[in-house]
Structure 1
Amino acid sequence: MTEYKFITIWIIDAPIEKVWSEIINYPNWPTWWKYVERVIPIQDYHRFIWKTPLYYKIAFDTKLIRVQPPIVLELVAKGNVDGVGLWELESIEKGTLVRYTWKVKTTKAWMDILAIFIRPLMESNHNTIMEEGGKALAHLLGANLLSAQL
């Protein structure tokens, strides 16, 4: 399995409570985040199906393991990727700083076989998805995405 660690930081000029309310409402993500195709509730977890800029889909199930409103949302993922996602929000003078850390291993054979060749594409793919997510979230909130570090 190939390991990836991504850290995304958004600064959105909106109050932390408004940002939190949309991040925690992940079943609604497909309505505003174009790369989230579906979020399906299944018992005590959710199945995410993402479409990507590279024209493949990725699916994984997530289960919340830590929720501390409005500052921390942590989940484990199992599926085409296995790992941990951590949303951390911080109220700052300009609005809200959002940090998302995504530490995963791929489980699809083709991703592992081609990893040495496609790693930069996979990283760019992830960054495109996250940049669009930051812009879309800010737009949804009637706010501005002041900064996106990918």
Structure 2
Amino acid sequence: MAGSRHFDLVSHWRIDAPVERVWSALTEPESWPRWWPYVRSVRLLKVGGADGVGSVRRIEWATRLPYDLVVEVEAIESLKHERLRGRSRGQLRGEGLWLLRSDGGSTDVTYVWRVELVQPWMRWLAPLLAPVFRWNHRGVMRAGGLGLAGHLGVSSRVLC
């Protein structure tokens, strides 16, 4: 954590599916609530280009803690089968980067999120609650990796 406002969060998934299938699932956020237990809803607010860049979605998240989050995510970069980058605003501000690497018939997925705490109570309590915030993020991401593998009908190794 840099100061009490920013967190750098990194998650790793190894999904036993080709990168094309993993990419397809990650680039269809409206389907996430079907396989990612903590995603309550995804709503398209703005259509982007053919590669999705410029699109904006409102994502409602449940958490392992007694609060929910709503963020709007704008797709700002897309390199097919390799990299997706988005910028979030709302209750959490930041930038997220999905990195995919094909490894035979499997896909290594890394998600890096630099997030700024917006809510005053989060900023105020961040020095004390940083381990809890990280624990929460790991659990949400772990559920996503396992959910994606289940959705694709394959096994996974989630290292969040």
CA distance in 1, matches of 2:30, 2:120: 29
The reply to whether residue 101 of structure 1 matches residue 104 of structure 2 is no
Deviates more, 1:116-125 or 1:85-94: 85-94
Q: Report the number of matched residues.
A: 149
CA distance in 2, matches of 1:25, 1:88: 16
Choose from 7, 24, 45 the match for 2:10.
7
**What is the Cα deviation at residue 93 of structure 1?**
2.9
CA distance in 2, matches of 1:6, 1:93: 27
What is the TM-score with the length of structure 1 in the denominator?
A: 0.95
Choose from 110, 131, 143 the match for 2:142.
131
Partner-residue secondary structure (3-state), 1:118 = helix
What is the TM-score with the length of structure 2 in the denominator?
A: 0.90
Structure 2: runs of 5 or more not aligned: 47-54
When you count strand as a share of all residues, which structure comes out higher?
1
The answer for the alignment partner of 2:57 in structure 1 is 46
Contact 1:12/1:94 (8 A) holds in 2: no
Identity of aligned residues (%): 33
**What is the Cα deviation at residue 94 of structure 1?**
5.3
* RMSD of Structure 2 on Structure 1 (CA): 1.1
Report runs of 4+ in structure 1 exceeding 3 Å deviation.
Answer: none
Contact 1:72/1:88 (8 A) holds in 2: yes
The answer for the alignment partner of 2:85 in structure 1 is 74
Choose from 22, 26, 34 the match for 1:31.
34
CA distance in 2, matches of 1:89, 1:31: 21
